Structure 1
Amino acid sequence: MPLVRIDLPQGKSPEYRHSVGDVVYEAMRTTLNVPENDRFQVITEHAPGGLVIDPTYLGIARSGDALMIQVTLNAGRSVELKKAFYKAVADGLHERVGLRREDVLIQLVEVPKENWSFGNGEAQYA
């Protein structure tokens, strides 16, 4: 169960937000082997000043449309799969919503399987 948090600048349409979520989910399914229906996302818009993204860190020129994607997921995926995921998301967002690849920041947070409860107060993967 990856938990995805997407933080983006305020003012995007519901269709834009939905498309961003779709792209991330599709990339997880195709590159990280996430099962069907394993979609848990929090998409949050931020007013000016509420989303701080350096415009030039590591020599990458970012615009005011830059967004951040944080995915908490089970540990164990290879570096190759992670790289494929990053590329799939950046390319997918560019193609689907016209977002520049430079404006896509992604962070993966890996946790042990026993750190999840899907309901009923149980650790289903433990």
Structure 2
Amino acid sequence: MPLVRIDAMNADGDRLHALGRAVHEALGETIGSPPDDLFQVLTSHHGERSVLRYGQYLGVPRDDGVVFVEITLRAGRAPEVKRALYRRIAELAQAYAGTEPRNVLVTLIQNASADWSFGYGLAQYEPGG
């Protein structure tokens, strides 16, 4: 059910896949996302035609290793579950892709069951689709 968008600076295919794996595993471990629920858009920005901009907001010293992770999912998770998700993404991004946890920025976009269609023009999460 989550739709994940990952944007990274100067990331090759291996790094993008490692970041995608990190987020997918963290979603499974913390919110119970099924293994076959894999919907990701992975993008590398090289500074010519696409750029990522970042600052040192809240005193976090980011650099060109920055990774933006945007997760769209159904609402309803408790704050402690969200915090566990953020922590686990940062841990696995470091383990799999060598990304320093300080460079992992995660945002959640929450919506309702009726806001999803997985194909065939149906709202699979809603009664009567």
Query: What range is the shorter-chain TM-score in?
Result: over 0.9
Q: In 1, are the aligned partners of 2:63 and 2:103 still within 8 Å (CA)?
A: yes
SS in 1 for 2:87: helix
Partner residue, 1:39: 38
- Distance in 2 (alpha carbons) for counterparts of 1:72 and 1:36: 17
What's the RMSD between the two structures over aligned residues?
1.0
Partner residue, 1:2: 2
TM-score by length of 2: 0.92
Structure 1 gaps, min length 5: none
Partner residue, 1:123: 123
Partner residue, 2:95: 95
Partner residue, 1:16: 15
- Distance in 2 (alpha carbons) for counterparts of 1:94 and 1:45: 17
- Distance in 2 (alpha carbons) for counterparts of 1:67 and 1:9: 7
- Distance in 1 (alpha carbons) for counterparts of 2:118 and 2:15: 28
SS in 1 for 2:117: coil
- Distance in 2 (alpha carbons) for counterparts of 1:118 and 1:42: 15
Structure 2 gaps, min length 5: none
Deviation (angstroms), 1:112: 0.3
- Distance in 2 (alpha carbons) for counterparts of 1:41 and 1:124: 19
Structure 1 ranges of 4+ moved more than 6 A: none
What letter corresponds to residue 86 of structure 1 in structure 2?
Y
Change beyond 3 A, Cα 1:47–1:13: closer
Deviation (angstroms), 1:47: 2.4
Q: In 1, are the aligned partners of 2:16 and 2:44 still within 8 Å (CA)?
A: no
- Distance in 2 (alpha carbons) for counterparts of 1:50 and 1:13: 15
- Superposed CA deviations along residues 81-116 of structure 1, whole A, max 9, x for unmatched, are 100000000011112222111100000000001100
Aligned residues: 124
Partner residue, 1:66: 66
SS in 1 for 2:8: strand
TM-score by length of 1: 0.94
Q: In 1, are the aligned partners of 2:12 and 2:44 still within 8 Å (CA)?
A: no
What letter corresponds to residue 52 of structure 2 in structure 1?
L
Deviation (angstroms), 1:36: 2.1
